[in-house]
Amino acid sequence: MTSTYASIILLFPLFSAAAILLGLKKKANISALVATGSALLTLVLSVLVLNAKEWSSVTLLQWSKVGGLELGIDLKIDQLSSGMMLVVTGVGALVHLFSLIYMKKDAGKARFFAGLSLFMFSMTGIVYSANLAMMFIFWELVGVSSYILIGHWFEKNSAADAAKKAFLTNRIGDFGFMIGILLLWAATREISFDGLSNAVAAGNMAPGLLAAATLCIFCGTVGKSAQFPLHVWLPDAMEGPTPVSALIHAATMVAAGVYMLVRVSFLIEASGWAADVIAWIGGISALLAALMATQQNDIKRVLAYSTLSQLGYMVMACGLLASEAGMFHLFTHAWFKAGLFLGSGAIIYACHHEQDIWKMGGLKDKMPVTFATFGLCTAALIAVPFTSGWWSKEAILEAAYKNDGLLFPIAAGTALLTAFYMTRLFVVVFFGKGRDSHVAGHAHEVPMLMRAPLIILAVLAVLAGFALIAGPVLGDEYAKYSQFHFSVPAIVSILTLALGVGLGLKLYAGRDREPVNIKLFANKFYFDELYAKIVKLCQDSVAAVARVLDGLLIDGVGVGGTRGFANMTGNALRRIQSGNLQGYACLFGAGVLVIVLLALL
Amino acid sequence: MPAYYLEIAVVVLGLVLLLVEAFTPPQHKRRIGWAALAGIAATFLLLLTVKSHCGCDSPMWQFYDDSSLSLFFKGLALLCTAFVLMLGLEYLPVLEKYSARAGGGPATGEFFALPVLICAGLMWMASAIDITTIFLSLELTTIGFYIMVAYMRRNVGSLEAGVKYLILGALSTGILVYGLSWLFGATGQTGLDAIRTALPSAARGPALFAFALILIALCFKIAAVPFHFWVPDVYQGAPTPVTAFLSVGSKAAGFLVAIRLMEPFLAVESLRTTCIAILVAVACATLILGNLAAIPQGNFKRLLAYSSISHAGFLLLALASDRHTGELTSTRIIAFYLSAYLCMTLLAFAVLIIINKSTGSDELKAFDGLHRRNPFLGFATLIAAASLAGVPLTAGFLGKFFVFIAAAGAQQWLAIGIAVAGAAAGFYYYFKVIRHVYWNTAPEGAAAIPVSPVAKSLLIILIAATLVLGVYPQLILGLL
């Protein structure tokens, strides 16, 4: 039964996208309802799958079978994928509902909802895939559908550029991912997770090769989950509509990278030093992103850098061989970050699409529901004790404390910065007085259909960490994470929280202008400029070489020579093809003679 | 139900159509076409219910094989005939113009009855496992084609093509009979099974002589170099649906016969090396000539003629790379390649017929600016050309890819090199068509090109088939 449900969960969004693109495009409202309906249906089915707990694997489509290589659309239904599906469809359904209002008057509404459905289809494919090939296919589909969604307002240059940047940056990571898959296939002749797991456990791979393959696979995560040094696309991707940011930059697309790491955790565990590299990349990303977040003025960008930073935590956990902790944080983070993004969407909607926090202010009274829900989600993000974020971050800090002496201070520092920049955001947006009368002056609470998702997400932000919720979704072994006990990480965590919030209040309470100015952070450590320089340099030098080669070798000798030869023979052959029947019969006879001679001599 | 009832049904269908045709008034000849189409479609449905190796007792099984391979090629023949009949319906106006009786109305009824009889021959050929039945069925199709090629009796080109095909065809038939008689002389057997057991003890010289003669005759049927000279002229002169039929149906059946007849020779180690060498040599010559000669062509029909030759080269290469282990036997590769070839070639011919009906020209120039005159037709041309050239995600790509796999397994490196160069040249001349469709502008005052509902459904089916086979080859491979 569960396998049927899972197949429907996978295929329904595809049907919805196809129906909209092929038939309903002109009927925007029906399109929106079809997509939302499909999202809600998949949510219900996900709950049923999770409830039934019948784990199985099912082959939906045997795509091709060449030698020992069997490529297929195989669904793997287990605790991990079912739990992840609940996150994806849960956040997805809420985002669909929110978008019904947010995108109400958009000209490309039907296209937007078709993109959402396509995205849900791709994401579901990643979650359910039982082999790396299928995961890669859907990985790329996620890339394509995020391109469509980020670039939804493609008439804006910045949106089109951001979509392109996201796509290209991801391509770099995906290239490594593909090499990793090929390496694993070459070494073990296995492509399914189960088969690979057995092969690795049997010690069929040389340690060096295994580490290399793991790092290549990890490249996929670096791209998709926007880890250092491929983190540059995520903040720009905020050019997409805000519900998209909530969906793909909080709960799904960027989480796919971490989900994949959890799926291949058996590789990481066996890979030795590669695990350390992964942990350090995660730690560095977490810290750098938190530093950059402190100086951003665009409400969505702050959240974007915060996402980067939290993803860094998760990746670090996976590298520290505590993938359960990573998955736990993914789970809790999905709810509160989606809540924050949708909350920011509500604020932006109320403020007539203004995103600069220094033009807002005093929204506390005008948007009480948004204020309350945003506050609860912020509390979870900065890990106020007993909120969901606290439990999961605690698990990661614990892992860092146990495993690596240096990563723990980094993680703790990130926690401090998180508390600091979120306090800054919260204080500047909701307190003080409205700084720009055009923006904050006319703000008012958003409609019910937008408030409902916020409230649901806020409730989950607080409660999702408790064993009551996390247990059934992620597995009973997660119950141990939500039991409080005193330890060094717990104390450090509370101290950093107090320090961060205190510092934030001290600096920003009652301010109307940015009191600190750190150019390096505001300009994101100049990564974009650096990459642009490098790309330009490489491109220019390759282009110069290519120009010489193209002119002399390709055009001159290659094309010219081939063309001359082909023309000459073509004309000669045309002469033989005279249309003269006697001639043909004669040539036929000659052919007979040649073949017979060949046979007999 | 034994499979040979199908052939009987098709023959009866053909005869009934001929009878009815005599009493049908000229303005209603189109109905004969629809009746033939319905009959063929019904037979195809019947075929789906037939299981291979029915086990019933009959003397027929000495001559007749009903393995899944045979049934597959029967299906191919039926589908091809159905598509050709649809093309014929589309082509009717042109046909009426050139087939008028002296002082009377057009005589187009037989044009729909003859393909049915040819189809019976093709289906029989798919099952023939005795050299006598192979020969008979081959002649049944060939004689049908003689008439079909020359059908437009008021058109000099069609008549000339008919004469050329008749004379060269007779020549090749003579050589085939001669070769078969040597085979009989060497082994004393007519059944292929018996020949397979007798051949290893046969004298080497006569066996190889028989091989060479049979190969020559089959090369004529499948349009391989150096017995291809008829192809461009006959293709260009014949009515276009007949050209399509020749290029797909005749070639498919020819290849199945080639697989059957070559197999006993290739199984004998002492003959094998020579036989393979000759096959590879013919394949290489076909690839080189077919592709090079296609480059300067400015006439789409002639271009397709050379394309047909070049595809024969790929298929021969697959035939020469037997003993490829694993899932992809050369038989399966050939079956897949021919299915792909059927889709894309019929697609190209369908486009050509539609354009010819509007513009009266087969030249590439008639395709100028097609994407503006009818975007759907332009897209169909794009798919056909891309698949013929072998762009990934089309059926044509996988066909070529499988051939390369098999050839690499057989270590035919030189032939692979030539095939790669040929495929590259193919990109040039097929994309030339795309250039005409999308880049060149239509001549002043060119009108939109209408597409009838029948033609449109045919195009949609073929486009879909080309794309589906391009990503899901298992659909065909799973049948064998």
pLDDT, mean of residues B304-326? 88
Is B400 among the domain residues?
Answer: yes
**pLDDT given at position B325:** 63
* Cβ contacts of A510 within 8 Å, gap of 6 or more: A431, A432
Query: Would you call B274 and A599 a contact, using CB atoms and an 8 Å cutoff?
Result: yes
Compute the distance between CA of residue B376 and CA of residue B382 in angstroms, rounded to an integer: 10
CA of residue A382 relative to chain centroid, distance: 22
**pLDDT given at position A439:** 64
Compute the distance between CA of residue A93 and CA of residue A95 in angstroms, rounded to an integer: 5
Q: Which of A73, A573, A593 to mutate to test the interface with B (most CBs of B within 10 A)?
A: A573
Query: Would you call A600 and B212 a contact, using CB atoms and an 8 Å cutoff?
Result: yes
Look over chain B and give the mean of its residue pLDDT values, rounded to a whole number: 90
Cβ proximity of B313 and B419 under 8 Å: yes
Measured between CA atoms, the residue of chain B closest to residue A577 is B229
Domain that holds residue B457: 302-480
Is B124 among the domain residues?
Answer: no
B144/chain A closest Cα distance in angstroms: 21
Q: What is the DSSP string of A349-386?
A: HHTTS--BGGG---HHHH-HHHHHHHHHHHHHHTT-TT
Residue A129, helix vs strand vs coil:
strand
Residue B36, helix vs strand vs coil:
helix
> Which residue pairs from A435-441 have beta carbons closer than 8 angstroms and sit at least 24 positions apart in sequence?
A435/A358, A435/A359, A435/A360, A435/A361, A435/A512, A436/A354, A436/A359, A436/A360, A438/A352, A439/A351, A439/A352, A439/A354, A439/A359, A439/A360, A440/A351, A440/A359, A440/A360, A440/A361, A440/A362, A440/A363, A440/A366
> Which string of b and e fits B237-253 if b means at least 16 CB within 10 Å?
bbbbbbbbbbbbbbbbb
pLDDT, mean of residues B349-355? 93
Is B322 among the domain residues?
Answer: yes
Measured between CA atoms, the residue of chain B closest to residue A595 is B212
Assign B326 a pLDDT band (cuts: 50, 70, 90).
low
A501 C-beta neighbours (distance < 10 Å), count: 19
Q: What is the DSSP string of A282-299?
A: HHHHHHHHHHHHTT--BH
A582/chain B closest Cα distance in angstroms: 9
Measured between CA atoms, the residue of chain A closest to residue B211 is A599
Is B390 among the domain residues?
Answer: yes
**pLDDT given at position B324:** 62
Q: Which of B176, B208, B228, B229 to mutate to test the interface with A (most CBs of A within 10 A)?
A: B229
Assign B116 a pLDDT band (cuts: 50, 70, 90).
very high
Look over chain A and give the mean of its residue pLDDT values, rounded to a whole number: 84
Assign A384 a pLDDT band (cuts: 50, 70, 90).
confident
Nearest to A598 among B205, B233, B278 (CB): B278
Assign B245 a pLDDT band (cuts: 50, 70, 90).
very high
**pLDDT given at position B64:** 87
Nearest to B295 among A65, A570, A592 (CB): A570
**Which residues does residue A569 pair with via DSSP β-bridges, in sequence order?**
none
Measured between CA atoms, the residue of chain A closest to residue B229 is A584
pLDDT, mean of residues A570-593? 83
Residues of B in contact with A587 (CB under 8 A): 226, 229
Is B319 among the domain residues?
Answer: yes
For residue A362, give the amino acid letter.
Answer: G
Nearest to B216 among A573, A585, A595 (CB): A595
Query: Would you call B474 and A571 a contact, using CB atoms and an 8 Å cutoff?
Result: no
pLDDT, mean of residues B352-369? 89
How many domains does chain B divide into? 1
Measured between CA atoms, the residue of chain A closest to residue B421 is A562
Is B238 among the domain residues?
Answer: no
Measured between CA atoms, the residue of chain B closest to residue A64 is B474
pLDDT, mean of residues B2-7? 86
Residues of A in contact with B213 (CB under 8 A): 592, 596
**pLDDT given at position A187:** 85
Nearest to B289 among A64, A566, A573 (CB): A573
- A580 touching B (Cβ < 8 Å): no
Residues of A in contact with B178 (CB under 8 A): none
Nearest to A577 among B172, B209, B232 (CB): B232
Query: Would you call B226 and A573 a contact, using CB atoms and an 8 Å cutoff?
Result: no
Q: What is the DSSP string of B306-375?
A: HHHHHHHHHHHHHHHT----SS--HHHHHHHHHHHHHHHHHHHHHHHHHHHHHHS--BGGGGTTHHHH-H
pLDDT above 70 for B10: yes
Residues of A in contact with B277 (CB under 8 A): 598
Residues of B in contact with A579 (CB under 8 A): 233
**pLDDT given at position B403:** 93
pLDDT, mean of residues B426-448? 88
* Cβ contacts of B328 within 8 Å, gap of 6 or more: A66, B402, B405, B406, B477
Compute the distance between CA of residue B122 and CA of residue B472 in angstroms, rounded to an integer: 27
**pLDDT given at position B187:** 92
Residues of A in contact with B179 (CB under 8 A): none
- A564 touching B (Cβ < 8 Å): no
Nearest to A587 among B226, B278, B471 (CB): B226
pTM for the complete prediction?
Answer: 0.71
Q: What is the DSSP string of B394-440?
A: SHHHHHHHHHHHHHHHTT-HHHHHHHHHHHHHHHHHHHHHHHHHHTS
Residues of A in contact with B172 (CB under 8 A): 588
A584/chain B closest Cα distance in angstroms: 6
pLDDT above 90 for A436: no
pLDDT above 90 for B172: yes
- A577 touching B (Cβ < 8 Å): yes
Query: Would you call A574 and B293 a contact, using CB atoms and an 8 Å cutoff?
Result: yes
**pLDDT given at position A468:** 74
pLDDT above 80 for A445: no
A66 phi and psi angles, rounded to 5 deg:
-125, 115
Query: Would you call A588 and B226 a contact, using CB atoms and an 8 Å cutoff?
Result: yes
pLDDT per residue as tens digits for the range A504-529: 888 877 777 777 777 777 777 777 78
Nearest to B167 among A569, A581, A587 (CB): A581
pLDDT per residue as tens digits for the range B261-288: 999 999 888 889 899 999 999 999 999 9
Assign B104 a pLDDT band (cuts: 50, 70, 90).
low
Compute the distance between CA of residue A191 and CA of residue A76 in angstroms, rounded to an integer: 13
Query: Would you call B425 and A566 a contact, using CB atoms and an 8 Å cutoff?
Result: yes
Provide the residue count of chain B: 480
Is B328 among the domain residues?
Answer: yes
Least confident window among A3-17, A424-438, B339-353, B378-392 = A424-438
Is B356 among the domain residues?
Answer: yes
pLDDT above 70 for B34: yes
* Cβ contacts of B277 within 8 Å, gap of 6 or more: A598
Nearest to A571 among B232, B296, B326 (CB): B296
* Cβ contacts of B101 within 8 Å, gap of 6 or more: B107
Assign B162 a pLDDT band (cuts: 50, 70, 90).
very high
**pLDDT given at position A225:** 86
Task: Map tokens 């793909």 to a residue.
Answer: A248
Residues of A in contact with B216 (CB under 8 A): 591-592, 595-596
Residue B303 or residue B446, greater confidence: B303
Query: Would you call A584 and B168 a contact, using CB atoms and an 8 Å cutoff?
Result: yes
Residue B227, helix vs strand vs coil:
coil
B32/chain A closest Cα distance in angstroms: 35
Residues of B with CB under 8 A from a CB of A: 163-164, 167-168, 171-172, 175, 205, 208-209, 211-213, 215-216, 220, 226-227, 229-230, 232-233, 274, 277-278, 281-282, 289, 292-293, 295-296, 326-328, 425, 471-474
Compute the distance between CA of residue B304 and CA of residue B388 in angstroms, rounded to an integer: 10
Least confident window among A190-204, A279-293, B204-218, B348-362 = A190-204
**pLDDT given at position B15:** 93
Query: Would you call B327 and A66 a contact, using CB atoms and an 8 Å cutoff?
Result: yes
Residues of A in contact with B164 (CB under 8 A): 581, 584
Q: Which of A70, A578, A584, A586 to mutate to test the interface with B (most CBs of B within 10 A)?
A: A584
**Sign of the alpha-carbon torsion through A545, A547, A551, A557:** positive
pLDDT per residue as tens digits for the range B56-70: 777 778 888 888 889
Query: Would you call A585 and B167 a contact, using CB atoms and an 8 Å cutoff?
Result: yes
Compute the distance between CA of residue B288 and CA of residue B423 in angstroms, rounded to an integer: 10
Residues of A in contact with B309 (CB under 8 A): none
Q: Which of A341, A439, A323, A321 is nearest to A381 (CA)?
A: A341
* Cβ contacts of A93 within 8 Å, gap of 6 or more: A36, A39, A40, A42, A43
pLDDT, mean of residues A137-145? 90
Residues of A (62-81) whose Cβ lies below 8 Å from B? 62-67
Cβ proximity of A244 and A150 under 8 Å: yes
pLDDT, mean of residues B378-385? 94
pLDDT above 70 for B244: yes
